[in-house]
Amino acid sequence: MTANAWLQIGLYLAVLLLTVKPLGTYMAAVFSDAPNRVTRLGAPIERLLYRLCGVRADEDMSWKRYAVAMLVFNVLGLLAVYLLQRVQQWLPLNPQHFDAVSADSAMNTAISFATNTNWQGYGGESTMSYLTQMLGLAVQNFLSAATGIAVLIALIRGFVRKTTQGIGNFWVDMTRSTLYVLLPLSLVLALVLVAQGVPQNFKPYETVPLVQATTATETVKDADGNAQKDAAGKDVTKESQVTEQSLPLGPAASQIAIKQLGTNGGGYYNANSAHPYENPTPLSNFLEVLSILLLPAALCYTFGAMVGDRRQGWALLATMFVIFVPLLIGCALAEQAGNPALTGLNLDQNATVLQAGGNMEGKETRFGIVNSAIWATATTAASNGSVNATHDSFTPLGGLVPMWLIQLGEVIFGGVGSGLYGMLAFAVVAVFIAGLMVGRTPEYLGKKIEAYEMKMASLVVLIPCALVVVGTAIAVLAPAGVAGIANPGIHGFSEVLYALSSASNNNGSAFGGLSANTPFWNVLLGICMFLARFPLAIGMLAIAGSLAAKKHVPQSAGTLPTHTPLFVVLLASTVIVIGALTFLPALALGPIAEQLVAIGH
C-alpha cells in the first residue's frame, strides 16, 4: 500500500477516536437520570410531546414492560412502512408515479428498516416514492436506531442500579435518543453533504442530453414476462437509441445523513454510497464513513461514564479496535494486491501516483482502494450495511473480511446501541469463563453472572449464528434460493452465505449479485432479520432486569479486573473464537476455497 493509504487509514482512526470522548460525555448527560444542562434544553419539547402522547416520563418500567413497549412500538412502525409502500401510488410526492411495491418485497423492506438492517431487495430510485422514502424509510432510520440506543441504556441501568425492578422508561429513552442525538447530528451532516453535492429537493428527475448518444439493449419479453428465445435458444433483444439521461433527485441528503449515523445503511439510490449523488467527494466519503462508527464508538464511552468507571468503556472500545484494525488492513492489502484472476492480461493493477490500481472492479475512481476498504470494514463491523463499492467483486480474501466481521455477531462497533449490547453479551460469556479461571463466581461491574444471565447471553450469541447456518442451508437446498445466485461456482455460495449473514446480523449489505427480490428470498431474509433483532433485544432487557434486581458486589483484589489489556485480549478472543469456530467450515467452502483456487490456477 502507498504511504497515502496508510495516512488515510490513520487519519480515519484518529479522528474517530477524537470524537469518542466529547460525544460520549454528551450522550451520558442525555440519558442521565438527573436533570442537567443538556436535558433542560429540550425539556419544553419533551414535556409537550409526553403530554400529547399520554406518557408519564417518571414511570419506571420493569424489564417486561420495557420490552413490551419496545416491541409494540417497533411492530407498529413496521406496519406503517409496509402500508406506505402498498398504497404509495395513491399518495402525493410520487413524481415518477411508482406503483405499489409487491407484498413480499414490502414486507421484507418494512422488517428490514424496522430492524435497523436496511437490507434492500429493491432499487431506491426506481421503486420508492419521495413520500415513502421520507415518511417510511427515513423515519425508521431514526426510530430503529433510537430503539437500539434505548435498549442499551436500559441495560446499562441494569448494571448501575441495585435491588430494584425498574430499568427506565422506553418512551423517554427513545424520544431522547431521537431528539438530542440523532436529529441534531443528522441535520449538520445532511447540510455538509449537500455542500459536497448530495441533492436535497422535491423536484422530479431532471433530464439532460447525452454528449454522445448510446444504444440500449433490451430483451424482448412475451406476455407472461418471460424472455423470448430465438431458434438458437438465445434471448431475443431489441436495440434502441438513447440520447438523454434522467438524473434522479429528491430529498436525498436528509436521508443519507441518518442512514449513516443510525447504522441503517439503506441507500437512497440503488448503488448506495458508491452513487456519485449519494457520496460525491472524498470529503463526503470521509464524513459518511466516519458517521458509521461515530455513535457506536462514542456509546462505549457513554457506557463507561454511566457505570461510573470510564476505563470499562475504553476497554470495550479497545476490544473493538483490536479486531477492527487488523481486519481493515487485511482487507486493504487484499484489494490493493489486485484480482489474481486478471494477472495474465496486459493490465496495470499497480498503485502509482496516477492511479489507485488494485482490484478496481466495482469501485469508484474517487475512492480508490483504501477508501473502499475502510468503508467495507467499517460498514460490516458496524451493522450499517451501506457500501461505496460492490463487495461481490472484492477479491476472495478482501470479501472474506466484511463477511466475517458480520458473522462475528455485529459487535465490533455493531449497530447503534445494539452493537454494544451484543458486545456486552459476549462480555458476560468472557467474564464467566475468566471468573471460573480465577476461582470466583463470575461478576461483571459488580453484578454476579449466574445461570439466568448465562442463559440469556447464550441465546443472544446463539440466535444469529443459528440463523446464518440454517438459513444458508435452506437457501442452497431450495431451487428458489439457488435461482437468485449470480456468480457461478464457489463465489455463488459466498453470495448466499453473505446474504444470510447480513440479514441474520441486521447488517444489510450484500454480495449484490444475488437477485434477492423474489418471494423466497424476501420471506427467508425477512424472517432472519426479525428474529435477529427483537429476541436479542428482549434477551438483553431480561438480563437488564435480572441485573437491576441484584445486589452490587464491591470490588476486591479477588475481583477480576475488566478494564485491563488482559481482559481486552480475552474478550476479543471470545468474540473471535465463537465467530471462527462457527463459521470456519462454511467460509472454507466459500471465500477460503475461492482464494486458494484463484491463486492455485
Partner 1 sequence: MLKIIRQALLILLFLTVLTGVAYPLAVTGLAQILFPSQANGSLIEHDGKALGSSLIGQPFADPKYFWSRPSATTPFANNSTSSTGSNLGPTNSALTDAVKQRIDALHAADPGNDAPTPVDLVTASGSGLDPEISPAAAQYQLARVARVRGRTQADVAKLVAEATEGRQFGILGEPRVNVLRLNLLLDGKL
Partner 2 sequence: MSTIQTSALDTRLLLPAIGDAFRKLSPRAQFRNPVMFVVFVCSILTTLLWLQALHGDGEAPAGFILGVALWLWFTLLFANFAEAIAEGRGKAQAASLRGARKDVVANKIPSLDRRDAITVGAAHDLRKDDLVIIKAGEFIPGDGEIVEGAATVDESAVTGESAPVIRESGGDRSSVTGGTRVLSDWIIVRITSNPGESFLDRMIAMVEGASRRKTPNEIALTILLAKFSLIFLLACATLLPYSLYAVKSAGHGEPVTITVLVALLVCLIPTTIGGLLSAIGIAGMDRMIQANVIAMSGRAVEAAGDVDVLLLDKTGTITLGNRQAVAFHAAPDVDDNALANAAQLASLADETPEGRSIVVLAKEKFGLREREVGGSGVVFVPFTAQTRMSGVDIGGQHIRKGALDAVKKYIESQGGQLPVAVVRVAEDIARKGGTPLVVAENEQALGVIELKDIVKGGIRERFAELRRMGIKTIMITGDNPLTAASIAAEAGVDDYLAEATPEAKLQLIRNIQAEGRLVAMCGDGTNDAPALAQADVAVAMNSGTQAAKEAGNMVDLDSNPTKLIEVVEIGKQLLITRGALTTFSIANDVAKYFAIIPAAFASTYPALNTLNIMHLATPQSAILSAVIFNALIIIFLIPLALKGVRYRAVGAGELLRRNLLVYGVTGLIVPFVGIKLIDMLLVALGLA
Supply the minimum distance, in Å, between the C-beta of residue 594 and partner 2.
9
Q: Does 243 engage in binding with partner 1 (CB under 8 A)?
A: no
CB closer to partner 1, 357 vs 481: 357
- For 73, the grid coordinates are 412500538
Q: Does 341 engage in binding with partner 2 (CB under 8 A)?
A: no
Q: Does 163 engage in binding with partner 1 (CB under 8 A)?
A: no
Which residues, listed in sequence order, are joined to residue 251 by a DSSP beta bridge?
A: 200
Q: Which does 209 bind (CB under 5 to 8 A by kind): partner 1, partner 2, none?
A: partner 1
Residues 601, 599: Cα–Cα separation, whole Å? 6
Q: Are 150 and 74 in contact (CB under 8 A)?
A: no
The residue range among 169-177, 208-216, 322-330, 589-597 that interacts with partner 2, by the rule CB under 8 A, is: 589-597
Q: Does 577 engage in binding with partner 2 (CB under 8 A)?
A: yes
E-assigned strand segments in 478-519 = none
Q: Which of 512, 520, 519, 524 is nearest to 486 (CA)?
A: 512
Q: Which does 204 bind (CB under 5 to 8 A by kind): partner 2, partner 1, none?
A: none
- For 249, the grid coordinates are 433527485
Residues 389, 286: Cα–Cα separation, whole Å? 14
Q: Are 142 and 73 in contact (CB under 8 A)?
A: no
357 φψ region: left (φ > 0), alpha (ψ -120 to 50), beta (else): left
Q: Are 413 and 297 in contact (CB under 8 A)?
A: yes
Q: Which of 299, 525, 271 is nearest to 414 (CA)?
A: 299
Residues 348, 355: Cα–Cα separation, whole Å? 9
Supply the minimum distance, in Å, between the C-beta of residue 454 and partner 2.
4
Count the residues of the shown chain that bind partner 1, applying the rule CB under 8 A: 139
CB closer to partner 2, 1 vs 587: 587
- Exactly one of 80, 329, 473, 576 binds partner 1 (CB under 8 A); that residue is 80
Q: Does 308 engage in binding with partner 2 (CB under 8 A)?
A: no
Q: Does 203 engage in binding with partner 1 (CB under 8 A)?
A: yes
- For 106, the grid coordinates are 414490502
Supply the minimum distance, in Å, between the C-beta of residue 285 and partner 2.
36
Supply the minimum distance, in Å, between the C-beta of residue 600 and partner 2.
5
Q: Does 597 engage in binding with partner 2 (CB under 8 A)?
A: yes
Q: Are 149 and 181 in contact (CB under 8 A)?
A: yes
> Interaction with partner 2 in 417-476: which residues (CB under 8 A)?
429, 432-441, 446, 449-451, 454-455, 458, 461-462, 465-466, 469-470, 472-474, 476
CB closer to partner 1, 185 vs 424: 185
Q: Which does 367 bind (CB under 5 to 8 A by kind): partner 1, partner 2, none?
A: partner 1
Supply the minimum distance, in Å, between the C-beta of residue 3 and partner 1.
11
Q: Which of 450, 544, 547, 549 is nearest to 63 (CA)?
A: 544
